[in-house]
Amino acid sequence: MKDILKKSSFKALMAIIAVFALLNTLIQTGVINYYYSGIINLILINVILAVSLNLIVGFTGQLCLGHAGFMAVGAYISAILTLKTNMPLILGIIIGGIIASLFALLIGIPTLKLTGDYFAITTLAFGEIIKVIIMNMDYLGGASGLSGIPIKTKFPLAFIFTVLTIVIISNIIKSSHGRAIISIRENEIAAQAMGVNTFKYKIYSFVIAAFFAGIAGALYSHYIGFLQPASFDYLQSINILVFVVFGGMGSLSGSIISASILTFLPEALRSINELRMIIYPLALIILMIFRPQGLLGNKELSLKIFKNLANRKEDKVC
Amino acid sequence: MLAVQNLSIEFGGLKAVSNLNLSINSKEVVGLIGPNGAGKTTVFNMLTGVYTPTTGKISYFGEDINGLKPYAITEKKIARTFQNIRLFSELSVIDNVKISYNYRVKYNLFDSIFRTKKFRDEENKIQEESLELLKAFSLDSKKDELAKNLSYGEQRRLEIVRALATKPSLLLLDEPAAGMNPQETKDLMEMINWIKDKFNISVLLIEHDMKLVMGICEKIVVLDYGKKIAEGTPEEIKNNPKVIEAYLGEGA
What's the CA gap between A58 and B244, in Å, rounded?
52
Q: Residue count of chain B, please give it.
A: 252
**Strand, helix or coil for residue B249:** coil
Mean pLDDT of chain B: 94
Query: Which stretches of chain B are DSSP H helices?
Result: 40-47, 70-75, 93-98, 109-114, 117-136, 152-164, 182-199, 210-216, 234-238, 241-248
When pLDDT is averaged across residues B134-148 and rounded to a whole number, the result is 96
Report the relative pairing of strands B2-11 and B55-60 from DSSP bridges: antiparallel
CB contact under 8 A, B88 and A183: yes
CB contact under 8 A, A168 and B115: no
Report the relative pairing of strands B14-24 and B29-33 from DSSP bridges: unpaired
Whether the pLDDT of residue B27 is over 70: the answer is yes
Residue A1: predicted pLDDT: 43
**Strand, helix or coil for residue A218:** helix
Task: Decide: B243 and B237 in contact? Cβ < 8 Å.
Answer: yes
- What burial class does residue B98 get, using C-beta atoms within 10 Å of its C-beta: 0-12 exposed, 13-18 middle, 19+ buried? buried
What's the CA gap between B39 and B15, in Å, rounded?
10
Task: Decide: A217 and A70 in contact? Cβ < 8 Å.
Answer: yes
Q: What single-letter amino acid sits at A29?
A: T
- Partners of residue B113 in chain A, C-beta under 8 Å: 168, 171-172
Query: Cα dist. A34→A30, A159, A162, A228, B181 in Å?
Result: 8, 16, 20, 23, 70
CB contact under 8 A, A195 and B71: yes
CB contact under 8 A, A172 and B107: no
Residue B84: predicted pLDDT: 93
- Partners of residue B117 in chain A, C-beta under 8 Å: none
ipTM of the prediction: 0.93
CB contact under 8 A, B90 and A186: yes
CB contact under 8 A, A196 and B107: no
Task: Decide: B53 and B7 in contact? Cβ < 8 Å.
Answer: yes
- Partners of residue A61 in chain B, C-beta under 8 Å: none
Of B43, B19, B46, B18, the closest CA to residue B32 belongs to B43
What's the CA gap between B78 and B98, in Å, rounded?
17
Per-residue pLDDT for chain A (318 aa), expressed as one digit of tens each? Answer: 445 556 677 888 899 999 999 999 999 998 989 999 999 999 999 999 999 999 999 999 999 999 999 999 999 999 999 999 989 999 999 999 999 999 999 999 999 988 778 999 999 999 999 999 999 999 999 989 999 999 999 999 999 999 999 999 999 999 999 999 999 999 999 999 999 999 999 999 999 999 999 999 999 999 999 999 999 999 999 999 999 999 999 999 999 999 999 999 888 888 887 787 888 888 889 988 999 899 888 888 876 666 666 676 555 544
Q: Which residue has the higher pLDDT, B245 or A180?
A: A180
How many contacts does A have with B, using Cβ atoms within 8 A? Answer: 106
**Strand, helix or coil for residue B29:** strand
Interchain contact B197–A (C-beta under 8 A): no
CB contact under 8 A, A194 and B100: yes
Ordered by where they begin, the domains of chain A are 34-317 (1.10.3470)
Buried b (16+ CB within 10 A) or exposed e, B199-208: eebbbbbbbe
Could you tell me which residues are beta bridge partners of residue B172? B80, B204
Task: Decide: B100 and B165 in contact? Cβ < 8 Å.
Answer: yes
- Partners of residue B126 in chain A, C-beta under 8 Å: 176
Residues of A with CB under 8 A from a CB of B: 1-2, 5, 9, 168, 171-172, 174-180, 182-183, 186-187, 189-198, 204, 250, 298
Strands of B63-64's sheet in order across? B14-24, B2-11, B55-60, B63-64
Residue A310: predicted pLDDT: 67
A24 phi, psi to nearest 5 deg: -65, -40
CB contact under 8 A, A182 and B91: yes
Whether the pLDDT of residue B187 is over 90: the answer is yes
CB contact under 8 A, B162 and A175: no
Ordered by where they begin, the domains of chain B are 1-77+180-251 (3.40.50.300), 88-167 (no CATH)
Which helix (DSSP H) or strand (DSSP E) does residue A78 occupy?
A: helix A67-84
CA distance B77 to chain A (A): 10
pLDDT digits (tens, 9 = 90+) for B154-184: 999 999 999 999 999 999 999 999 989 999 9
Q: How far is CA A128 from the centre of its chain?
A: 19
Task: Decide: A37 and A155 in contact? Cβ < 8 Å.
Answer: yes
Interface probe with A: pick from B81, B86, B125, most Cβ of A within 10 Å: B86
Tell me how many degrees the CA angle A79-A66-A298 measures, rounded to the nearest 5: 115
Interchain contact B44–A (C-beta under 8 A): no
**Strand, helix or coil for residue A151:** coil
What's the CA gap between A272 and A279, in Å, rounded?
10
B209: Cβ contacts below 8 Å, ≥ 6 apart: B177, B185
CB contact under 8 A, A177 and B95: no
CB contact under 8 A, A189 and B50: yes
CB contact under 8 A, B74 and A198: no
CA distance A212 to chain B (A): 14
pLDDT > 70: what percent of chain B? 99
CB contact under 8 A, A175 and B88: no
- Partners of residue B100 in chain A, C-beta under 8 Å: 194-195
What's the CA gap between A157 and A41, in Å, rounded?
9
Task: Decide: A195 and B74 in contact? Cβ < 8 Å.
Answer: yes
Interchain contact B171–A (C-beta under 8 A): no
Q: What single-letter amino acid sits at A278?
A: I
Interchain contact B51–A (C-beta under 8 A): no
CB contact under 8 A, A193 and B82: yes
Nearest CA in chain B to A183: B88
Nearest CA in chain A to B105: A176
What's the CA gap between B6 and B3, in Å, rounded?
10
Identify the sign of the CA torsion A47, A48, A49, A50.
Answer: positive
Nearest CA in chain A to B49: A193
- What burial class does residue B244 get, using C-beta atoms within 10 Å of its C-beta: 0-12 exposed, 13-18 middle, 19+ buried? middle
Interchain contact B117–A (C-beta under 8 A): no
**Strand, helix or coil for residue A114:** coil
